[in-house]
Amino acid sequence: MTESDRNTEAEQNNDLEVEPEVAEEQVAFDLSTFPGGARSAIEAVLMVVDQPITVLDLATALELPPDDVTAYIHELEAEYAQQQRGFTLRCINDGWRVYSRSDYAPVVEKFLMGGQQAKLTQASLETLAVIAYRQPISRSRIGAVRGVNVDGVIRTLLTRGLIEESGIESEGTATLYCTTPYFLQRLDLSSLDELPPLAPYLPDADMIDELIEQGNG
């Protein structure tokens, strides 16, 4: 093979080589191009999350400094309160989310119930009592005390504005529930301290754990 042939073959081989793919450049997320800027962008996300979201997660998603996110959230929180909006921002277990303001729980209940003031069932009343005396408490613990599935009852009580989410269990990911100011209003109470002394008749925390273990066994 002549020198010319070898050079020609080398050129052909070079033509067959595939150039390495070049990674696409990350495009900066410029929130200033959106109406309302970063603050409104944060508000939009908080409107659609179905679970409370932390400042760090918001900052990561929107490519903003966490301190800026915190400042914007507090601005929105103050603005909602000043304007007496029907919703508010609440922080639960370091996570933020938009909630309807508790002052409007009767209005929300009336809308969801179609204007009908249906009485709570016995199952709902019993579940509400467990939550009232053992709050904050998880769904599994409520079910252990009641001995039945309480998913539907919990949804009803949430819809009626009588209970609300109050955080996450420190040893897991279960949502905790507690009663609302509307619950006290309906019972004509100023605080939970005015509840009748029925708590001793409910199982304590250790007994609830035993009931859960028996149910899983």
Name which residue leads in pLDDT, 126 or 204.
126
Statement: residue 112 has pLDDT above 80? no
Q: 107, 182 in Cβ contact below 8 A?
A: no
* Overall average pLDDT of the 147-163 stretch: 88
Instruction: Kindly state the average pLDDT of the residues 103-109.
Output: 79
The three-class DSSP label of residue 2 is coil
Average pLDDT over residues 111-134: 80
Q: Quick one: pLDDT at residue 70?
A: 96
pLDDT, one tens digit per residue, over 28-53 is: 568 888 888 999 999 999 998 877 88
Of 185, 100, 99, 178, give the one whose Cα is nearest residue 136. 178
| pLDDT value at residue 75 | 96
Q: Per-residue confidence at 18, pLDDT binned at 50, 70, 90? A: very low
pTM: 0.52
Question: Does the pLDDT at position 17 exceed 80?
Answer: no
Q: Assign domain 31-100 one CATH number from 1.10.10.10, 4.10.220.20, 3.30.420.10, 3.20.20.70.
A: 1.10.10.10
What percent of the chain has pLDDT above 90?
29
Secondary structure (DSSP) of 69-126 = HHHHHHHHHHHHHHTT-SEEEEEETTEEEEEE-GGGHHHHHHHHTTT--PPPPHHHHH
Is residue 204 over pLDDT 80?
Answer: no
Q: In the chain, what is the straight-line distance between the N-terminal and C-terminal CA atoms, in Å?
A: 81
CATH class, range 103-216: mainly alpha
Q: What CA–CA distance (Å, rounded) separates 128 from 133?
A: 9
In this prediction, residue 23 has a pLDDT band, given cuts at 50, 70 and 90, of: very low
Residue of 107 and 150 predicted with greater confidence = 150
pLDDT at 22 (0 to 100): 42
Domains 31-100 and 103-216 share a fold: yes
Query: Per-domain residue ranges for the chain?
Result: 31-100, 103-216
